[in-house]
Amino acid sequence: MIRMLTHFVLFFSAAPPTVRIIHSGHACNVEEERHTERVYTIREGETLELTCLVTGHPRPQIRWTKTAGSVSDRFQDSSVFNETLHIAKILRTQGGRYYCKAENGLGSPAIKSIRVDVYYLDDPVVTVHQSIGEAKEQFYYERTVFLRCVANSNPPVRYSWHRGREVLTQGSDKGVEIYEPFFTQGETKILKLKNLRPQDYANYSCIASVRNVCGIPDRSVIFRLTNKTASPSIKLLVEDPIVVNPGQTVSLVCITTGGEPPPVLTWVSTNDSLPQRSVVKGGTLTLPAITSDEAGVYSCVASNNVGNPAKKTNLINFLVTALKKGRFWITPDPYHNDDNIQIGREVKISCQVEATPPEELTFSWLKNGRALRSSERMVITQTDPDISPGTTNLDIIDLKFTDFGTYTCVAALKGGGIPEISIDVNISSTTVPPSLTVPRGKSPLVAREGDTVELECLVSGKPKPIILWSRADKEAPMPDGNMQMESYDGVLRIINVSREMTGSYRCQTSQYNGFNVKPREAVVELIVQYPPTVEPVYTEKRQGLGRPVVMTCKVLRAHPSRVLRFEWLLSNRLLHAGAFDAQKDETEYTIRSLNRDGWGEYTCNVINEAGAGKCTFQVTGKAYPPEFYYDTYNPLWQNRPRVYGFKLQWTQMNPNAVDRIVAYRLGIRQMGLQRWWEQEIPVDGPINKGELMTHNLTELIKPESYEVRLTPITRFGEGDSTIRIVTYSGECCIMYFHCSFEEEPICMFTQDKNDDFDWTRHSAATRDTKYTPNTGPSGDRSGSKQGFYMYIETSRPRKEGDQARLVSPFFNVAPKNPYGITNPPAYCFGFFYHMYGKHIGTLNAFLKQKGQTTSEGPVWSLSGNQGNHWKQAKVSIHPTSSFQVVLEGIRGPGIEGDIAIDDVTLEEGECRDPPPNFQEGISSQTVANTEPLSHVGGGK
């Protein structure tokens, strides 16, 4: 059984966001840098979890970003907008500054950052180099050898060298020098062996260490230096280049001819990676059933970490034979302007084929199926240097009637294996150059968006050439993404045509498969019609009964732009229709007084020749969802061993948008169970915007969590629900208020208009202390120079006795606790103060109740220099009606008298742990009220 008590309280509720970041998961170390920046250290491969704790009302939206305010790494999408950012198996590249940004539309967004440092240590690599002056000699002839040790790490690595079991240090051996090259910035450690001696041939180990930071162990590598140590050399047992036919299996063999230690052989390709089907065994690379896509350059690489460079590469040029597209063109007599073929003139037939390799390409010519040989009147040219490669020409000089017939160009590759390509060209008295026209009625061509259209150019002539299509009105690609599209029948087909394709298209004859003459061209206009684009596509109109509702549907664009008509419908019932006003770009429908029959879905169709654009309006009396109040710590209490209570707090989103909310339906169920307990909470009177409502949940079983659902109810019925989880946390107090002055609105505190001067909001990072260096705090209460606090500036024109008063917002007296702790209720009012300087005056705290013209005497007071540190004050107050708290600073006898306050809190219940310095402050101060200040109550 869950017992529920109900009470509503008007309370200052809207609050700008605050944020702080905590870590979870695997952390090596968390430390504070200057300005209290947090640095979170994690080992590579561990799981990073950062949690963003926020306050504020309404509930702030959270977004995680990295570095300069954008997600530069690929976060999991679910993490970016969650309170917890989760990155599994973090990489070194994912280190950096992470920001949590919270905003709820009030004031500026709250942003906090944390620096994540990813630590790692890779295995060190030792490379051996010879002295520059004798680079051509073998190592065992060299007098000087360099052993270079490199390891990638964070933090910076420390190196140590060993020869066998002997530790080598600078100066320990005259034949050894250890140093770091300046340009490597500590990333490399070099061991130099001068005037190589017999004892220098030994095992050398390089140990890299990050001093067990993050529990990362040391890593080491061993290199054996002998009088045979030498850089690698290799030999390729293949021809260069290799030319093969598609489908063949190729084996490339690479062997080592020298090198100590024995080199490791690998194969690489210019195509980024080896083909998937390739097999590498030792120095042999096998490529089964090779394709033309796998042609390229393959390299055999040998490495043994000796030499500079430490690898040698030989290139294999790898070609796969292929014959591709073949084309022809006819050139009439170039010495006459006539484009026709005429008896007695010259004609040239050109034939072009793409081949790999091009130098292996051969051509032959046939006439009517019989071999044709070059002669004085039939001149065959295998390759014309003036045109592109892979071309052959047949020049027919002084054309005769007997020359008419079919000429065939045959292309082949030497060695065979690839099928020949044959191209037939007919030369006859009917062979005529092309002409190009657009059929009647085909331009302009009108289509609707989404249709399939065919742009058509009629091409005549024999033979018919290929038609090239391109945009005529602008430099833009064609639908396939290329600047030109080919058509063999003169038709350009566009599937799913879009409005962006409206414009002019040029059709042009190509020399390919036709006459090599001046191109013929024509232009086709395409007009793509589309329905009106309107806004809003969908919107919700929430309104109470008896109020007007105005719906506006706006046309953004349409083609044709002459909109024919509009129609308004409720469900499927026509309400209003008519012609669209050409002078306006919108249509409007008004409900003067909404009744129950007026709730529903309204549709506005704006129609032109191409179709309709639709605006949809959902008119409803449904109330907006309530917003749970998160700007306090978990407001729960405990009184008995097995049960606890929770003070549910919420405000209503846009309470005046619809009819008055008459009740809330509260549902609650224990997590993991199916059954809901439901109860209606009546509401007396209208709810104001920002009004905080409370409802006490009691008899909750420890330590179970509960799901709570809250739904507003109006004359319309149920509104939108809100759900939150109530979790037992062992807290025993209800925190009503906390203000650290980080945001400009300063938590709705105000300056008293009847005092002498104002409190000032400032931070130590921006405050100018050159005139009063021996006064005021050096940071906020947490020690941050960037954090804000309030203080009184006592420099001129202030004089002794001037008063500055800071007044809190009004607080309502909370309902009596479920188990009757106090009557009237008690609150613990607390704050931190900083009173440092030889001219410190007085700091007073007052309780001001509603209806009082003046407040009673101070409930807390302190005077004089209290030292250069922050102290906490707490005092119990017992108001009987709505109240405010007032903090008053009084200027002392000189300018070294700045008083600062920070972190003002208000808790329900008596103060349980007053600061130890509080009673000490009482004994040394002078106060107007002679009663014990910690027990001064509210108004009489």
User: Mind listing the pLDDT tens digit for each residue in 406-448?
Assistant: 999 999 988 777 788 898 999 998 889 999 999 998 999 999 9
Beta strands in 210-283 (DSSP E): 219-224, 230-236, 242-244, 250-260, 264-269, 279-281
Residues 410 and 502 grouped into a single domain: no
Q: Write the pLDDT tens digit of every residue in 608-633.
A: 988 999 999 999 999 999 998 865 44
pLDDT at site 140:
45
Question: Is residue 283 packed enough to be buried (19+ CB in 10 Å), middle (13-18) or exposed (0-12)?
Answer: buried
Asked if 76 contacts 84 with a C-beta cutoff of 8 angstroms, the reply is: no
Q: Write the pLDDT tens digit of every residue in 48-102.
A: 888 888 888 888 888 888 864 444 444 544 457 678 888 889 999 998 889 989 8
* pTM for the structure as a whole: 0.51
Question: Is residue 135 packed enough to be buried (19+ CB in 10 Å), middle (13-18) or exposed (0-12)?
Answer: exposed
Using alpha carbons, select from 401, 440, 595, 436 the residue that is nearest to residue 514.
436
Residue written as tokens 């650290």? 740
Residues 768 and 894 grouped into a single domain: yes
Element (H, E) at 249: none
Identify the band that residue 286 occupies on the pLDDT scale cut at 50, 70 and 90. Answer: very high
How would you classify residue 722: left for phi > 0, otherwise alpha for psi between -120 and 50, otherwise beta?
Answer: beta
Asked if 883 contacts 938 with a C-beta cutoff of 8 angstroms, the reply is: yes
Which domain CATH number covers 833?
A: 2.60.120.200
How is residue 858 written in tokens?
């101070």
The CA distance from 509 to 457, in Å, is 10
Q: Which one has a higher pLDDT value, 609 or 568?
A: 568
Which domain CATH number covers 201?
A: 2.60.40.10
Q: Write the pLDDT tens digit of every residue in 125-147.
A: 999 987 754 444 454 455 789 99
In a domain, 880, yes or no: yes
Q: Out of 574, 592, 620, pick the residue that ends a domain.
A: 620
Using alpha carbons, select from 743, 778, 749 the residue that is nearest to residue 764.
778
Q: Is the dihedral of CA 708, 714, 717, 719 positive or negative?
A: negative
In a domain, 609, yes or no: yes
Peptide bond connecting 536 to the previous residue in cis, omega within 30 degrees of 0 = yes
Q: Write the pLDDT tens digit of every residue in 667-693.
A: 999 999 999 999 999 999 999 888 888
Q: Write the pLDDT tens digit of every residue in 163-213.
A: 999 999 888 888 899 988 766 666 788 999 987 888 899 999 999 999 988
Q: Could you give the number of structural domains in the chain?
A: 8
Residues 284 and 239 grouped into a single domain: yes
Residues 263 and 383 grouped into a single domain: no
Least confident of 291-295, 420-424, 924-928: 924-928
Residues 762 and 797 grouped into a single domain: yes
Asked if 149 contacts 179 with a C-beta cutoff of 8 angstroms, the reply is: no
In a domain, 129, yes or no: yes
- Whether the per-residue pLDDT at 812 is higher than 60: the answer is yes
Peptide bond connecting 275 to the previous residue in cis, omega within 30 degrees of 0 = no
Using alpha carbons, select from 459, 420, 616, 415 the residue that is nearest to residue 535.
616
Name the DSSP letter for residue 306. B
Q: What is the mean pLDDT of residues 864-880?
A: 92
Residues 594 and 722 grouped into a single domain: no
Residues 296 and 360 grouped into a single domain: no
- Give the count of beta carbons closer than 10 Å to the beta carbon of residue 422: 14
Residues 440 and 296 grouped into a single domain: no
Identify the band that residue 915 occupies on the pLDDT scale cut at 50, 70 and 90. Answer: low
Beta strands in 58-202 (DSSP E): 61-66, 84-87, 96-103, 110-121, 125-130, 145-150, 153-154, 158-163, 166-168, 176-179, 188-193
Residues spanned by the domain of 341: 331-430
- Whether the per-residue pLDDT at 918 is higher than 60: the answer is no
pLDDT at site 935:
30
How is residue 348 written in tokens?
């040239």
In a domain, 407, yes or no: yes
Q: Out of 287, 317, 347, pick the residue that ends a domain.
A: 317
Enumerate the β-bridge partners of residue 831. Answer: 873
pLDDT at site 9:
41
In a domain, 106, yes or no: yes
Mean pLDDT of the chain, nearest integer? 83
- Whether the per-residue pLDDT at 730 is higher than 70: the answer is no
In a domain, 481, yes or no: yes
In a domain, 919, yes or no: no
- Cα angle, residue 642 at apex, residues 640 and 647 outer, rounded to 5°: 70
Residues 153 and 220 grouped into a single domain: yes
How far is residue 418 from each of residues 2, 323, 357, 415, 469, measured CA to CA in Å? Answer: 87, 7, 12, 9, 33
The CA distance from 552 to 563, in Å, is 16
pLDDT at site 106:
81
Residues 743 and 865 grouped into a single domain: yes
Residues 690 and 568 grouped into a single domain: no
- Give the count of beta carbons closer than 10 Å to the beta carbon of residue 834: 27
Q: Which one has a higher pLDDT value, 11 or 127?
A: 127
Residues 749 and 877 grouped into a single domain: yes
pLDDT at site 59:
81
Identify the band that residue 832 occupies on the pLDDT scale cut at 50, 70 and 90. Answer: very high
Q: Out of 224, 254, 270, pick the residue that ends a domain.
A: 224
pLDDT at site 530:
93
Asked if 294 contacts 246 with a C-beta cutoff of 8 angstroms, the reply is: no
In a domain, 7, yes or no: no
How is residue 674 written in tokens?
């199916």
